Protein backbone atom coordinates (compact mmCIF):
# COMPACT_ATOMS: atom_id res chain seq x y z
CA UNK A 1 0.00 0.00 0.00
CA UNK A 2 1.25 3.48 -0.79
CA UNK A 3 0.83 6.49 1.45
CA UNK A 4 -1.96 7.77 -0.83
CA UNK A 5 -4.11 4.66 -0.52
CA UNK A 6 -7.01 4.49 1.84
CA UNK A 7 -7.49 1.79 4.43
CA UNK A 8 -10.59 -0.32 4.83
CA UNK A 9 -11.31 -2.58 7.78
CA UNK A 10 -10.08 -5.59 5.80
CA UNK A 11 -6.64 -3.96 5.51
CA UNK A 12 -6.12 -3.98 9.27
CA UNK A 13 -4.69 -6.79 11.40
CA UNK A 14 -3.39 -7.09 14.94
CA UNK A 15 0.37 -6.61 14.98
CA UNK A 16 0.43 -4.30 11.98
CA UNK A 17 2.60 -1.19 12.40
CA UNK A 18 2.36 2.03 10.38
CA UNK A 19 4.79 4.96 10.47
CA UNK A 20 4.11 8.51 9.29
CA UNK A 21 5.92 9.41 6.08
CA UNK A 22 6.84 12.85 7.35
CA UNK A 23 7.45 14.78 10.53
CA UNK A 24 5.89 18.07 11.60
CA UNK A 25 8.25 20.51 13.31
CA UNK A 26 6.83 22.81 15.98
CA UNK A 27 8.62 26.13 16.04
CA UNK A 28 8.58 28.80 18.73
CA UNK A 29 6.04 31.06 17.01
CA UNK A 30 3.61 28.19 16.35
CA UNK A 31 3.82 27.08 19.99
CA UNK A 32 3.10 30.58 21.27
CA UNK A 33 0.27 31.18 18.77
CA UNK A 34 -1.43 27.91 19.75
CA UNK A 35 -1.00 28.70 23.45
CA UNK A 36 -2.45 32.20 23.12
CA UNK A 37 -5.55 30.85 21.43
CA UNK A 38 -6.12 27.57 23.27
CA UNK A 39 -3.87 26.95 26.29
CA UNK A 40 -2.37 30.19 27.66
CA UNK A 41 -0.40 28.65 30.49
CA UNK A 42 2.99 30.21 31.34
CA UNK A 43 5.08 27.27 30.10
CA UNK A 44 3.65 27.68 26.60
CA UNK A 45 3.82 31.47 26.16
CA UNK A 46 7.57 32.00 25.89
CA UNK A 47 10.91 31.51 27.57
CA UNK A 48 10.45 34.25 30.18
CA UNK A 49 7.04 33.20 31.47
CA UNK A 50 8.08 29.54 31.33
CA UNK A 51 10.89 30.10 33.85
CA UNK A 52 8.34 30.51 36.65
CA UNK A 53 6.07 27.69 35.49
CA UNK A 54 5.94 24.22 37.00
CA UNK A 55 7.95 22.96 34.02
CA UNK A 56 10.57 25.66 34.33
CA UNK A 57 11.04 25.51 30.58
CA UNK A 58 9.29 26.66 27.42
CA UNK A 59 7.35 23.83 25.76
CA UNK A 60 4.32 23.14 23.60
CA UNK A 61 0.90 22.46 25.06
CA UNK A 62 0.05 18.77 25.25
CA UNK A 63 -3.07 19.64 23.30
CA UNK A 64 -0.93 21.04 20.48
CA UNK A 65 0.98 17.77 20.47
CA UNK A 66 -2.41 16.05 20.25
CA UNK A 67 -3.68 18.00 17.25
CA UNK A 68 -0.34 17.63 15.50
CA UNK A 69 -0.58 13.90 16.12
CA UNK A 70 -4.11 13.86 14.68
CA UNK A 71 -2.85 15.44 11.45
CA UNK A 72 -0.12 12.80 11.18
CA UNK A 73 -2.59 9.99 11.89
CA UNK A 74 -4.85 11.29 9.12
CA UNK A 75 -1.94 11.26 6.67
CA UNK A 76 -0.73 7.81 7.77
CA UNK A 77 -3.97 5.88 8.31
CA UNK A 78 -6.29 7.37 5.70
CA UNK A 79 -9.53 5.61 6.52
CA UNK A 80 -11.88 5.08 3.58
CA UNK A 81 -14.85 7.45 3.85
CA UNK A 82 -13.36 8.75 7.12
CA UNK A 83 -13.15 6.91 10.39
CA UNK A 84 -15.39 7.29 13.38
CA UNK A 85 -13.59 7.49 16.70
CA UNK A 86 -15.07 5.79 19.74
CA UNK A 87 -12.77 7.46 22.24
CA UNK A 88 -9.23 7.71 23.54
CA UNK A 89 -7.88 5.75 26.48
CA UNK A 90 -4.70 6.14 28.46
CA UNK A 91 -3.62 9.46 26.93
CA UNK A 92 -0.20 10.27 28.38
CA UNK A 93 2.20 13.09 27.70
CA UNK A 94 5.58 11.50 28.32
CA UNK A 95 7.98 14.43 27.91
CA UNK A 96 7.77 18.08 26.89
CA UNK A 97 7.78 19.04 23.23
CA UNK A 98 10.29 21.82 22.72
CA UNK A 99 10.62 24.38 19.92
CA UNK A 100 12.28 22.67 16.97
CA UNK A 101 11.06 19.19 17.85
CA UNK A 102 10.01 17.22 14.76
CA UNK A 103 7.05 14.96 15.55
CA UNK A 104 6.00 11.79 13.76
CA UNK A 105 3.72 8.88 14.65
CA UNK A 106 3.89 5.14 15.01
CA UNK A 107 0.54 3.33 14.89
CA UNK A 108 0.40 -0.24 16.24
CA UNK A 109 -2.81 -2.19 15.57
CA UNK A 110 -3.78 -4.05 18.74
CA UNK A 111 -7.06 -5.64 17.60
CA UNK A 112 -9.43 -5.73 14.64
CA UNK A 113 -12.85 -7.37 14.62
CA UNK A 114 -16.10 -7.04 12.67
CA UNK A 115 -18.66 -4.80 14.33
CA UNK A 116 -21.43 -6.69 16.11
CA UNK A 117 -24.02 -4.00 15.45
CA UNK A 118 -22.95 -2.67 12.03
CA UNK A 119 -22.30 -5.21 9.28
CA UNK A 120 -20.83 -2.44 7.11
CA UNK A 121 -18.02 -1.71 9.60
CA UNK A 122 -15.23 -3.15 11.69
CA UNK A 123 -13.75 -2.07 15.01
CA UNK A 124 -10.01 -1.39 15.16
CA UNK A 125 -8.05 -0.62 18.31
CA UNK A 126 -4.58 0.84 17.99
CA UNK A 127 -1.87 2.45 20.07
CA UNK A 128 -0.44 5.69 18.72
CA UNK A 129 2.97 6.83 19.88
CA UNK A 130 4.17 10.31 18.94
CA UNK A 131 7.95 10.44 18.67
CA UNK A 132 10.38 13.33 18.42
CA UNK A 133 13.44 13.54 16.16
CA UNK A 134 15.46 11.52 18.69
CA UNK A 135 12.91 8.66 18.61
CA UNK A 136 11.89 9.58 22.16
CA UNK A 137 8.15 9.11 22.82
CA UNK A 138 6.43 12.38 23.74
CA UNK A 139 2.80 11.21 23.75
CA UNK A 140 0.97 7.91 23.72
CA UNK A 141 -2.64 6.79 23.70
CA UNK A 142 -4.88 3.91 22.73
CA UNK A 143 -7.96 4.49 20.62
CA UNK A 144 -10.76 2.53 19.01
CA UNK A 145 -12.18 3.51 15.64
CA UNK A 146 -14.99 2.28 13.47
CA UNK A 147 -13.78 1.60 9.92
CA UNK A 148 -15.93 0.88 6.87
CA UNK A 149 -15.79 -2.56 5.24
CA UNK A 150 -15.23 -2.95 1.51
CA UNK A 151 -18.17 -5.34 1.38
CA UNK A 152 -20.58 -5.51 4.31
CA UNK A 153 -20.43 -8.69 6.42
pLDDT (tens digit per residue) in 16-69:
999 999 999 999 999 999 999 999 999 999 999 999 999 899 999 999 999 999
Per residue in 114-147, pLDDT (tens digit) is 999 999 999 999 999 999 999 999 999 999 999 9
Residue range 4-8: mean pLDDT, rounded: 84
Q: Measured in whole angstroms, how far is the alpha carbon of residue 23 from the centre of its chain?
A: 12
> 107 falls in which pLDDT band (50, 70, 90)?
very high
Nearest of 65, 58, 21 to residue 42 by alpha carbon = 58
Spatial contact of 79 and 141, defined as CB atoms under 8 Å apart: no
C-alpha span between 80 and 37 (Å, rounded): 32
Q: With bands split at pLDDT 50, 70 and 90, how would you rate the model's confidence at 153?
A: low
Chain mean position to CA 94: 13
The answer, as to whether pTM is greater than 0.75, is yes
Boundaries of every domain in the chain: 9-148
Assigned fold of 9-148: Thiol Ester Dehydrase; Chain A (3.10.129)
Amino acid sequence: MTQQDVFWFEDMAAGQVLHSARAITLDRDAIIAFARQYDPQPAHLGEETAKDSQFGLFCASGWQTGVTTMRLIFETLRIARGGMGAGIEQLRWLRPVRPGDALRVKIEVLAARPSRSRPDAGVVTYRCTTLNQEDAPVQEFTTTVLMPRRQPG
